[in-house]
């Protein structure tokens, strides 16, 4: 069924409210020590909810879109498997229990997270004034590295993952840039039609969310 402009506006508004509300509730959960253990168990479900919001807002998802989805999810998990088991990329690290169910020591939700971040950044760059594809890929990858800088201290504190060196090595950020650029190049290759602002807003909320957790 074709979505009318009115329906699409309502859909976008509701989605933005859901994103804002659940991140505000998440902040409360992390800031109140008595609630933190409960909220940590909800992290995988929060990621799944954000995934559903992103999927729901993609305009006319088709086989091409689902191929991209599977490619990034599987590619993200594969990259993390290489990182954890071979230490060839990112560094020497292991995942804790916070991200939920693991297969071969890799949380399935990390693939979902890669998709959400890459898709949101890809759509943001798609909506930007950058006309050059290489510029969109490089700027997008730099944004994802900046977000990872904010995520790392929070992830370490709440046992998303741990580093043998206690802190992330420079190699982590270099490889984050490289893998992000590769995935964004894939996004560009699929040439999706312009999407609404829900995914880019989610990316911005992630910056605010992890920025506040770092600040406080």
Confidence tier at 1 by pLDDT (50, 70, 90) = very low
Distance CA 181, CA 196 (A): 22
pLDDT single digits (tens) 22-40: 999 999 999 999 999 999 9
DSSP secondary structure code for residue 33 in this structure: T
CB atoms within 10 A of CB 201: 18
Handedness of CA 139, 140, 142, 146 (dihedral sign): positive
> What's the pTM value of the predicted model, to 2 decimals?
0.95
pLDDT value, residue 61? 87
pLDDT value, residue 7? 73
* CB-CB contact of 146 with 124 (8 Å): no
pLDDT value, residue 60? 85
pLDDT single digits (tens) 108-132: 999 999 999 999 999 999 999 899 9
pLDDT reading at 98 higher than 90: yes
pLDDT value, residue 116? 98
* CB-CB contact of 173 with 148 (8 Å): yes
pLDDT single digits (tens) 42-76: 999 999 999 999 999 998 889 999 999 999 999 99
What are the residues facing 94 on neighbouring strands? 162
What are the residues facing 93 on neighbouring strands? 163
């Amino acid at each position: 069924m074709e979505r009318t402009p009115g329906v699409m506006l309502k859909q976008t508004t509701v989605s933005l409210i859901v994103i804002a509300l659940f991140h505000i509730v998440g902040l409360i959960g992390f800031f109140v020590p008595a609630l933190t253990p409960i909220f940590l168990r909800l992290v995988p479900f929060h990621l799944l909810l954000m995934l559903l919001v992103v999927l729901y807002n993609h305009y006319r998802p088709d086989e091409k879109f689902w191929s991209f989805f599977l490619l990034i999810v599987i590619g993200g998990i594969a990259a993390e498997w290489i990182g954890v088991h071979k230490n060839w990329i990112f560094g020497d690290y292991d995942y804790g229990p916070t991200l939920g169910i693991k297969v071969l020591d890799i949380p399935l939700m990390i693939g979902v997270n890669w998709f959400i971040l890459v898709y949101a950044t890809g759509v943001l760059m798609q909506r930007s004034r950058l006309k050059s594809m290489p510029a969109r890929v490089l700027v997008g990858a730099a944004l994802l590295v900046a977000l990872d800088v904010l995520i790392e201290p929070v992830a370490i504190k709440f046992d998303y993952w741990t580093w043998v060196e206690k802190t992330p090595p420079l190699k982590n950020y270099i490889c984050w840039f490289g893998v992000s650029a590769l995935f964004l190049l894939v996004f560009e290759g699929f040439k999706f039609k312009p999407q609404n602002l829900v995914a880019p807003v989610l990316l911005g909320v992630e910056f605010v969310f992890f920025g506040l957790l770092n600040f406080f």
